[in-house]
Amino acid sequence: MSAADAPWRLSIAELVPLIRDGALSPVDLLDAYLERIGALDGALHSFVHLNAHARAAAEAAQAEIAAGRWRGPLHGVPIGVKDNHLTADMPTTAGAPGEAFPLRDATAVARLRAAGAVLIGKTRMHQFAWGMETPPTANPRDLSRVPGGSSGGSGAAVAAGLCAAALGSDTGGSIRIPASLCGCVGLKPTFGLIGRGGIVPHSWSLDHAGPLAASVADAALLTEAMAGPDPDDPGCAGLAAPGLAAAAAPGASVAGLRVGVCHRHFFEGLTPAVERAADAALAALVAAGARIVEFDAPELSVGLGAIFAIELASSTAWHDRRLREGRVAGFEPDVRLLVEMGRLVSGADYLQAERYRRRLGEVFAARFADVDVVAGPTLPLTAWRMGERSVDIGGRSESVLAVSWRLTYPWNLLGLPALSLPCGVDGDGLPIGFQIAGPAFGEAAVLRAGAALEAALGGPMARG
């Protein structure tokens, strides 16, 4: 099947020369995605809204490109937008029908428009960015399984080839979890690299904005486009991120790269399939020239309680008026329980959690003096069945809420960049994710390692 017959199979990096040189028009590309959405999304439920203005944007991009006004690698490329990012031409509900947020562009959305991207629609999310399932969205690899959350619609849409890439947000793993379960790439950049102005808050000090994409190179392209100053986000670092696309370009070398491995936390309680795939990924990095550096971080043993306290308190504070006024009828039961649980977090609890966060930051600052990146599995398991509330791993029953973000949350607490990319499948053909994290603003090393591993494993996971 040729690219012209199925352009949705191609990564953005592969689409760029076709669009730039006129071999593929943005309108035809949009139509290919819309046709696929029409055929598949009735079962997947990955989109909550399709953009009525997408065709006009694609036509405008086509005219600009024909006139020689090329804006760059995202020009004319259809991108999905998670439903907690404000958009000027589409409603935003944050997964809660009946909520009305302003019609304006979030900073990340505005940057994508400026880069020439075509916003194809809003992707479904777990309500108010809580949860790990995103009902009723299905996993495109197995419709009986969850896509992960809270950016489950974005993960499902990208993996199924319903858009070239999509925006997500990540508070404890909400970009990397769907990427791992659905079989695509997800990047949580350094805290403040991508401004969060115009994104409905979940936890002010833990929220990160970032992309889900078909390949490591595509994630780099989107991150580079969205990074920069944001007057609406006081936590924004105000830094551009040139060079990320180059770091993830074909032929990325990891010769001499020091890859930190912490078995105590990141390799405990894994399913056998995940453990085998993660070990094979590490071996592939070593074969490509990287060097494994073992280290220990016993402080991680109590981290889940710390991030949960911070997240609960932050979310409850943001929803305080709704709670006091009794405006909770539209909350899903699981979300209402979590939001109200935040009232049980005392001031002392919150401060102790923040003290722990600072201590963990000191620990990993010392570790990153000796290693360039830290690597291991993204999740201990693959996608679980819809409706399951607990899973059995090695004879031990665990809550899916706890197990699904056990390996991702440390990088949110620390605000450090972390990438998830597919590294294999289990016996049921379900994707397994591999996570690579780095020091603050160390995205280039993270992406370089990810691109090299992706190439060593045979390239990006096929979509569809």
DSSP character at residue 383: P
- Rounded to the nearest angstrom, the gap between the alpha carbon of residue 125 and the centroid of all alpha carbons in its chain is 12
DSSP character at residue 437: E
In the 3-class helix/strand/coil scheme, how is 390-414 assigned residue by residue?
A: EEEECCEEEEHHHHHCCCCHHHHHH
Instruction: List CB contacts of 264: < 8 A, sequence separation 6 or more.
Output: 296, 297, 298, 300, 301
By C-alpha distance, which of 30, 41, 23, 25 is closest to 8? 30
**Residue-wise DSSP of 180-218:** HHHTSEEEE--TTTS--TTB--S-TTT-EEEEEESSHHH
CA distance 312 to 344: 9
By C-alpha distance, which of 32, 95, 131 is closest to 463? 32
Q: Is 228 in contact with 111 (CB distance < 8 Å)?
A: yes
Catalytic hit among 46, 82, 180, 404: 82
Instruction: List CB contacts of 153: < 8 A, sequence separation 6 or more.
Output: 45, 46, 47, 48, 80, 82, 83, 123, 124, 125, 134, 137, 147, 166
In one-letter notation, the amino acid at residue 383 is A
Mark whether 174 is an active-site residue: yes
- Is the previous residue joined to 150 through a cis bond, with omega within 30 degrees of 0? yes
Catalytic hit among 174, 180, 203, 215: 174
**Residue-wise DSSP of 228-242:** S--TT-TT------T
Q: Is 233 in contact with 195 (CB distance < 8 Å)?
A: yes
Catalytic hit among 11, 25, 46, 150: 150
List the beta bridge partners of residue 167: 211
Q: Is 46 in contact with 153 (CB distance < 8 Å)?
A: yes
Q: Is 175 in contact with 169 (CB distance < 8 Å)?
A: yes
Instruction: List CB contacts of 439: < 8 A, sequence separation 6 or more.
Output: 365, 368, 416
Strands (E) located in 57-184: 78-82, 118-123, 165-170
CA distance 10 to 225: 20
Mark whether 150 is an active-site residue: yes
Mark whether 11 is an active-site residue: no
DSSP character at residue 104: S
Instruction: List CB contacts of 206: < 8 A, sequence separation 6 or more.
Output: 171, 172, 307, 310, 311, 314, 412, 413
> Which of the residues are catalytic?
82, 150, 174
